Amino acid sequence: MNNTQKFFSILAVFIYSAITIIPIVFAIDRLILVSGFNPILWIQSLDQNYVSQNSIAFTFVQAFFSTILTVLIGFPVAWVLGRHSWPFKAFLRSILTLPFVIPAIIAAMGFLTITGPYGLDVRTDESTWWWTLIFSHAWFNIALIIRFCEPVLSTLNPNFEEQLLLLPNGVTFFSRLKNLWIPILTPSIAAASCMTFVFSFTSFALVKWITVRDKTLESTMAEVSSSAGIQGYMEPSSDIVLGASLIQFLVLLASLWLMSFLQQRRQTKWQQASELFVQNKNAKGWFVLAPAIFFVQLPIISVILGSFRVRDVSENSNSFKWSTEGWSEAFQGSYSFPPLSEALFNSLIYSFGTLIIALPLGYILASTIHQLEENNFNLSRILEIYTMLPFALSAAMIGLGIMLGIIKLNPSAAYDFRFLPVLAHVMITVPFVVRIILPALRSFDLSYDENAKVLGMSNFSRFFKIKLPLMKGSILVATVFTLAMSLGEFGASFIVARNSEWITLPLLIDSLRGKPMKDPLTVPSSNAVATVLMLITMILFLIVEKFRNTKDRGMF
């Protein structure tokens, strides 16, 4: 590493720390000031406060069952998709993994519509809430199962299965399970399950809207966030936040560690199929894929339809008419709610602002880790884990961290600094940028750079003329991912963006939905905003799919 590179690296680590770690440290410091340092007490406070009672149990149980259901639904889809050839396979894969990038608040809207009076009409039955929540989590996360397992299946050298057929003790079902499928799929399924568990564990928007009575640690934290960190006033809120975030942090850290451990043991030992390998078609697979596609599309379509369906108030009934009034209401806004255009503008500004910071920052961090890998492996590992820390923080904690942390530094900035939500978004997206760019850097063929050196090109030239163009694909993926995550971010923004002028699309959806339901335009207008957000997200996602390396096995 030359001096310029060193400088950039140190600067990047410094900025990253300033944005990410320092506010969290300040926030925790402030909370501890109120609550005292007593982790046992913090955790006990969760059971000693009515507002958070049972949230620990509920969080674990729903995350656990969500994970199981996700695997049960997602694995057959991954199997069928990976084992056979399909027309428009890439497109099918995109549709089936689309839910992952749809903002949770929109999924909540979709599922409420499905279970509501215009759908299955089971909402009044409380016993259906649990299942609705689990299914909505599964809906989100089957993308992970598919993303992790399908590439393994479609690039597996078929010889492995064929060889077993020709060996007496290999041919039985159990033998194939034991000697082929379990060893080869377990790391992928386990890794995807870990991530599903993590996402379900920190679920907020879905829990807030679907299981009205029960709360997860995340939704509890969001609820008490406004009164946390104040000495002498509602001090239990601080206890609750510390207790909840401690548990979350430990669980998330454990899950991340487990996932990275499992990924290291992945199937690099198993030979990949030659590119000439052609899979067979299997029409029976449509019995799995068709329902899956329906399941995936249903909430999305519900939201779009819901934006045009307006309850007819002339009668006190559930009759409705189709109209664009909801869209007009969303576009016009009111003093209660900014117009859709303003929220869209804010969302776009924030997401581009996030991109401008997160992309170069993440790139430099990834580059630093990669360069350290050669000379100082331990330091590179430490730095790699350091860049993953925000993964171990939930969105609510990040939001709260910024609020309380910034307040300590500069109280008025918390409410006057228009770009405060960007900090939250940067915190959330930088780890993703690192995780996308780093593998690309690792697989970057050094001979390209070396050849350019001997041709006399300078550092600067080589970077812009050789390296960046070759890294174009992964940079684009990182760009689009950052934009999409920032656009759809809800949890942290819920806490940070209190000023209604900072409202983003997801927050607008939530606010509109929270209006008294008497107004028949409440639901259609929030669905209209949701539709806009969804369309933008889908477009971004489809762009990514074109550039993704289909042999990639992983989240992104």
Which residues within the stretch 57-96 sit at the binding site for other proteins (CB under 8 A)? none
Distance CA 364, CA 360 (A): 6
Q: If you search the block for the tokens 């990924």, which residue do you land on?
A: 263
Site map 463..502 versus other proteins, x via CB under 8 A = -----------------------------------xxxx-
Q: Pick the piece of the chain touching other proteins (CB under 8 A) from 59-67, 108-116, 281-289, 383-391.
A: 108-116
User: Quick one: 53 or 380, whose CB is closer to other proteins?
Assistant: 53
Q: Pick the piece of the chain touching other proteins (CB under 8 A) from 3-11, 135-143, 146-154, 362-370.
A: 3-11
Is 269 exposed, middle or buried, given 0-12, 13-18 or 19+ CB atoms closer than 10 A?
A: exposed
Residue 309's DSSP bridge partners are 322
Eight-class DSSP state of 280: P
**Shortest Cβ distance from residue 220 to other proteins (Å)?**
10
Quickly count: other Cβ atoms within 10 Å of residue 138's Cβ.
24
**Shortest Cβ distance from residue 227 to other proteins (Å)?**
4
Q: Pick the piece of the chain touching other proteins (CB under 8 A) from 391-399, 407-415, 434-442, 546-554.
A: 407-415
Q: In the range 344-383, which residues lie near other proteins by CB under 8 A?
A: none
**Shortest Cβ distance from residue 529 to other proteins (Å)?**
16
Distance CA 528, CA 326 (A): 7
Q: Pick the piece of the chain touching other proteins (CB under 8 A) from 362-370, 466-474, 512-520, 536-544.
A: 512-520
Diameter of the chain measured on Cα atoms: 81
- Which one of residues 65, 223, 348, 444 is an interface residue with other proteins (CB under 8 A)? 223
CA distances from 519 to 125, 389, 524 (A): 24, 43, 10
- Which one of residues 40, 127, 213, 378 is an interface residue with other proteins (CB under 8 A)? 213
Distance CA 340, CA 332 (A): 7
Coil/strand/helix, residue 85: strand
Determine which helix (DSSP H) or strand (DSSP E) holds 513, and give its type and residue range: helix 505-513
CA distances from 462 to 2, 44, 238, 409, 453 (A): 14, 57, 52, 41, 8
279 binds other proteins (CB under 8 A): no
**What is the distance in angstroms between the CA of the first residue and the CA of the last residue of the chain?**
29
Q: Pick the piece of the chain touching other proteins (CB under 8 A) from 33-41, 75-83, 332-340, 387-395.
A: 332-340
234 binds other proteins (CB under 8 A): yes
* Pair of tokens at residue 169: 């003790």
Coil/strand/helix, residue 311: strand
Q: In the range 4-23, which residues lie near other proteins by CB under 8 A?
A: 4, 7-8
Distance CA 527, CA 530 (A): 5
Q: Pick the piece of the chain touching other proteins (CB under 8 A) from 136-144, 372-380, 409-417, 471-479.
A: 409-417
* Long-range own/partner contacts, residues 318-322 (CB < 8 A, 24 or more apart): 318/117, 318/118, 320/118
User: Quick one: 427 or 436, whose CB is closer to other proteins?
Assistant: 427
322 binds other proteins (CB under 8 A): no
- Which one of residues 229, 326, 399, 405 is an interface residue with other proteins (CB under 8 A)? 229
Q: In the range 133-172, which residues lie near other proteins by CB under 8 A?
A: 157, 159-160, 162-171
417 binds other proteins (CB under 8 A): yes
**Shortest Cβ distance from residue 531 to other proteins (Å)?**
16
Distance CA 228, CA 221 (A): 9
- Which one of residues 32, 38, 53, 543 is an interface residue with other proteins (CB under 8 A)? 53
Determine which helix (DSSP H) or strand (DSSP E) holds 320, and give its type and residue range: strand 320-322
- Which one of residues 212, 290, 535, 539 is an interface residue with other proteins (CB under 8 A)? 212
**Shortest Cβ distance from residue 176 to other proteins (Å)?**
10
124 binds other proteins (CB under 8 A): yes
User: Quick one: 109 or 145, whose CB is closer to other proteins?
Assistant: 109
Q: In the range 535-554, which residues lie near other proteins by CB under 8 A?
A: none
- Which one of residues 36, 291, 411, 469 is an interface residue with other proteins (CB under 8 A)? 411
- Cβ 476 vs Cβ 301: under 8 Å: no
415 binds other proteins (CB under 8 A): yes
- Which one of residues 63, 106, 112, 355 is an interface residue with other proteins (CB under 8 A)? 112
183 binds other proteins (CB under 8 A): yes
User: Quick one: 149 or 292, whose CB is closer to other proteins?
Assistant: 149
**Shortest Cβ distance from residue 541 to other proteins (Å)?**
28
- Which one of residues 48, 341, 451, 461 is an interface residue with other proteins (CB under 8 A)? 48
341 binds other proteins (CB under 8 A): no
Amino acid at 319: S
In this structure, what are the phi and psi dihedrals at residue 282, rounded to the nearest 5 degrees? -150, 100
User: Quick one: 74 or 326, whose CB is closer to other proteins?
Assistant: 326
47 binds other proteins (CB under 8 A): yes
User: Quick one: 213 or 378, whose CB is closer to other proteins?
Assistant: 213
- Cβ 228 vs Cβ 241: under 8 Å: yes
* Pair of tokens at residue 320: 């409705």
Quickly count: other Cβ atoms within 10 Å of residue 121's Cβ.
12
**Shortest Cβ distance from residue 223 to other proteins (Å)?**
6
User: Quick one: 447 or 460, whose CB is closer to other proteins?
Assistant: 460
**Shortest Cβ distance from residue 545 to other proteins (Å)?**
30
Number of chain positions touching other proteins (CB under 8 A): 80
Distance CA 418, CA 409 (A): 16
- Which one of residues 38, 49, 263, 297 is an interface residue with other proteins (CB under 8 A)? 49
Is 335 exposed, middle or buried, given 0-12, 13-18 or 19+ CB atoms closer than 10 A?
A: exposed
* Pair of tokens at residue 120: 């299955």
CA distances from 354 to 25, 100, 349, 420 (A): 22, 20, 8, 11
CA distances from 530 to 140, 428, 519 (A): 16, 21, 18
**Shortest Cβ distance from residue 335 to other proteins (Å)?**
5
- Cβ 65 vs Cβ 57: under 8 Å: no
418 binds other proteins (CB under 8 A): yes
